[in-house]
Structure 1
Amino acid sequence: MIIILLLACREPAEQTENGPGDDPTVTTDPTLPVPEAVDTAYGVDSAAETGDTGPEPPLFWTYVDTDSIHSCGLVSDGSVRCWGIDECTNNTPRPWEQLTQISLGIGQGCGLRPDGTLLCWNCDHFDEEVRRETPPGVFLRVEVGAGAACAQDAAGILTCWGVDFVVGTPPPGPVLDFALDANATAAVLPDGSIIAWGDAALWGDDSPPVGVVFSNISMGRRHACGLDTTGLAWCWGDSQNLSPFPPAPPGVWAQIETFNDASCVIDDLGTVSCWYGYPSVSFSLWESQRPAVPFAQLGLGEWDGCGVTLTGEAYCWGGDPSVETWLDVPDLNP
């Protein structure tokens, strides 16, 4: 049997622009789309393999405070932002100085670094006691008043410094909560009672109600308010005109803030209710400008206020932001 093998003669294949060993699927034709880089061994997008997960999530506020001269807030990435008059913002922490808590007094402030140490500052031409006398140590919380501050350690013990008549002598043992104002300092003791030191005339002829077990306290100019362990609010002391400060509204509240001659409470849904000692044009303006949104936290100054909403936005009110720069909250996601 004769087998004839026929070999077909073919034209040589047209040479592409790819060199030897190049992927023939890649073309240099500029009119064609460039294919995405894919890991052929695992079928994984090379961008994901390098850890590129796309755009960063938007930033939001977690806490804000004001002293009616400058304001500061904590951001979701751990940074701190401050705004207000130049005499303050020249000295306030920069965004890269991460803080876990902040508190502002009149022209000064303090914050806690992630390691629990203190960072304090003061505005130009204001008292330097808080910054100059900042104590060493590790703390869990700090509160600043007018020319004085107190910090609490892990055992609940207070360390206070600054103006003598405000600082006074804190209790030697642990406290549950504490607050400062321009004239005095007060704290909630482990049994729920309240002790105050500093200006003896702080609350006039009034005093904290006996038999109430408090969980926290907040102080104004001549009055104070606190929440008991059931969430009821109590107030005592005088208004600015020396009349008794009005009682707190009924209800169960999650937070209470007292400032100047007024107080505010927030419930679990973020509803805010504020009241004042005597009729005031300034307070009426303050109330009319407060946004009607649910708040998670309030930080109140002399006549201005700031707050963080349940969704992480921050607002400040009580005046004209174009003039009172501490009300002009910076945009975190321009």
Structure 2
Amino acid sequence: MPAVMTGVRAALAAATPTMTLGLTAYVPEPEPECCTFSPMRIPVHRIAIAMLAISAASALILANPAHAAEAAKPIAVITGGHHTCAILDGGSVKCWGLNGNGELGYGDTTSRGVNASEMGDDLPTVDLGTGRTALALTSGRDHTCALLDNHTVKCWGLNEIGELGYGDTDNRGDNASEMGDNLPTVDLGTGRTAKAINAGMWHTCAILDNDTVKCWGKNDHGELGLGDTSHRGDNASEMGDNLPTVDLGTGRIAKVMSSAGVHSCVLLDNNTIKCWGYNGNADLGLGDTDNRGDNSSEMGDSLPAVDLGTGRTAKAVSSGGGGTCSILDNDTVKCWGYSAQGQLGYGDTNNRGDVGGEMGDNLLAVDLGTGRTASAIWYGDLHVCALLDNGSVKCWGWNSVGQLGLGDTDNRGDSGAELGDSLGIVPLGAGRNALSITAAWDHSCALLDNDTIKCWGNNAEGELGQGDANSRGDGPDELGDNLPAVLLGTAPVSLPPTGADTTVLVGLAVILLAAGTVLVTTRRRVATVK
């Protein structure tokens, strides 16, 4: 479709000598209450003069609203260590924040989001390859992975321990010509594709099409679940068919993966949870501090499920920097592991799950407030956010830079009477609710019900997408209606093909089609060009 020019550019183009022949204008004849018109030929120089006058008067240039540029609509948001990415409607991806290792996927190491000129339409989309779009995203501290529409996986950013899964330690996305068709897919094995992906700090896991799990990257503590401490993906011949699947137990398959700093958890088909990797802070919820998965005979049927309480099963699991939270079958939340900042939500700083007698029925549900239950849970590094049943968001734990979204820097959950009805909700704006949440090292984001994203917390690297480096949520009156949505630009304009009907609606408008037709409509007239 030829480009559509509007305003002064259109007027100047119409006035050029190369466009003076064969140019036809259709102008509606005066009609009291009618919307049809009759064509009449008028000199081009008069059209040009009229168009210049209209442009000088800031005339409204209107196209069919169905084809007009609209704000890009995000459908998912994820947070990394100090960067954030969103999937837009249609499957394109935009990322902003820290980019020291190419984690934004733009072929450079230039961070985005600290200047106003770096967001909106100035923020490019990530090149995923010809014809490829994203179904899901996940981020570690400094790397990002996408599950593509053909169920392959591509990863970019830091790769010092093989977390990208390419059989080397070369970063991707930090130099030109490393993205798009030049970025290979992760080899998951012969005939294997992915259903879901999840990244820890320096490792990545995928649920495959046969419901098995494969993990690669750093493995110092057994976080890959392979019964040793050998990294995978940093040397050739470690991926594909050579990468074993995680032994989840006899007959067990994975429903949901959650990888954290140095441990991993899985929600199984029988709605139990198993965790492996680092357990120095009771991250695994097994009543001790022994790592699992770093020695043989610790996985499979030898790895016990987390005791959630009598008759209780899990609906969701989220692993964080030092612990894990689960939504149970009754929509309550239980958390275990490290609690120095109150991130477990129990009104103290006591770890849970590091000794016997702390799990199961002895592990209380987190008090979310009177009558409130959880729809989603996200464990960041040292803070946790929950999406509640009424669409509101509550966060607790570490709050050094406002990542809890409460207008101060006071931790919540580390002393009594800070949870439940005493814990305020994150102000998202008048009438706004959240559809999903995500939390990272020290910032948090929510996808709202009006198809926008709002982020709060640390913004030193532009991870909040506000075009500056000012943190949000650490002072009063910074959230709610005072917090702008992340500016993601306009959605691609879908113009009708040549020969299709084009409707120009209410208002004084001029549209110049490069095909050589100028349509002028007057107030309250509707015209169709063929």
Using the size of structure 2 for normalisation, the TM-score is: 0.41
Candidates 314, 323, 340, aligned match of 1:201: 340
Residue 197 to residue 310, structure 1, CA distance change in 2 (3 Å):
farther
Aligned to 2:285: 168
The answer to whether the 8 A contact 1:264-1:274 is kept is yes
Aligned to 1:111: 206
Aligned to 2:154: 81
Deviations 1:287-325 (CA, angstroms, capped at 9, x unpaired):
438962289xxxxxxxxxxxxx999xxxxxxxxxxxxxx
Candidates 220, 223, 248, aligned match of 1:129: 223
- Provide runs of 4+ in structure 1 moved above 6 Å: none
Cα deviation for residue 58 of structure 1 reads 2.2
Cα deviation for residue 145 of structure 1 reads 0.5
Identity of aligned residues (%): 19
The answer to whether the 8 A contact 1:107-1:126 is kept is no
Residue type of the partner of 1:192?
Answer: D
CA root-mean-square deviation: 3.3
Aligned to 2:426: 248
Residue 294 to residue 65, structure 1, CA distance change in 2 (3 Å):
farther
Residue type of the partner of 2:427?
Answer: P
Aligned to 1:177: 316
Cα deviation for residue 104 of structure 1 reads 0.4
Structure 2 residues without counterparts, runs of 5 or longer: 1-129, 167-184, 228-245, 287-305, 349-365, 402-408, 413-423, 469-484, 494-530
Aligned to 2:103: none
Deviations 1:198-254 (CA, angstroms, capped at 9, x unpaired):
114352647642331111111123321111122211122231376236841242111
Structure 1 residues without counterparts, runs of 5 or longer: 1-56, 296-308, 312-334
The secondary structure found in structure 1 opposite 2:283 is: helix
The answer to whether the 8 A contact 2:221-2:277 is kept is no
Aligned to 1:238: 398
Structure with more contact order per residue of length (Cα contacts < 8 Å, sep ≥ 6): 2
Q: Is 1:60 aligned to residue 133 of structure 2? A: yes
The secondary structure found in structure 1 opposite 2:439 is: strand
Residue 262 to residue 99, structure 1, CA distance change in 2 (3 Å):
same
The secondary structure found in structure 1 opposite 2:160 is: helix
Distance 2:216 2:197 in 1: 11
Residue type of the partner of 1:248?
Answer: V
Distance 1:265 1:158 in 2: 26
Q: Is 1:146 aligned to residue 261 of structure 2? A: yes
Using the size of structure 1 for normalisation, the TM-score is: 0.63
Aligned to 1:228: 388
Q: Is 1:215 aligned to residue 394 of structure 2? A: no
Residue 79 to residue 280, structure 1, CA distance change in 2 (3 Å):
closer
The secondary structure found in structure 1 opposite 2:467 is: helix
Residue type of the partner of 1:103?
Answer: N
Residue 190 to residue 175, structure 1, CA distance change in 2 (3 Å):
same
Cα deviation for residue 103 of structure 1 reads 0.5
* Between 158-167 and 241-250, the greater mean CA deviation after superposition: 241-250
> Whose Rg is larger?
1
Distance 1:198 1:282 in 2: 29
The answer to whether the 8 A contact 1:83-1:89 is kept is no
Distance 1:131 1:294 in 2: 41
Residue type of the partner of 1:232?
Answer: S
Residue 269 to residue 135, structure 1, CA distance change in 2 (3 Å):
farther
The answer to whether the 8 A contact 1:236-1:247 is kept is no
Cα deviation for residue 149 of structure 1 reads 0.8
Aligned to 2:416: none
Residue type of the partner of 2:156?
Answer: W
Candidates 436, 449, 454, aligned match of 1:273: 454
Distance 2:139 2:375 in 1: 24
Distance 1:196 1:90 in 2: 27
Distance 1:126 1:162 in 2: 8
Distance 1:160 1:196 in 2: 13
Distance 1:177 1:100 in 2: 17
Deviations 1:2-39 (CA, angstroms, capped at 9, x unpaired):
xxxxxxxxxxxxxxxxxxxxxxxxxxxxxxxxxxxxxx
Cα deviation for residue 88 of structure 1 reads 4.4
Cα deviation for residue 113 of structure 1 reads 0.6
Distance 2:489 2:268 in 1: 32
Distance 2:205 2:137 in 1: 13
Residue type of the partner of 1:135?
Answer: D
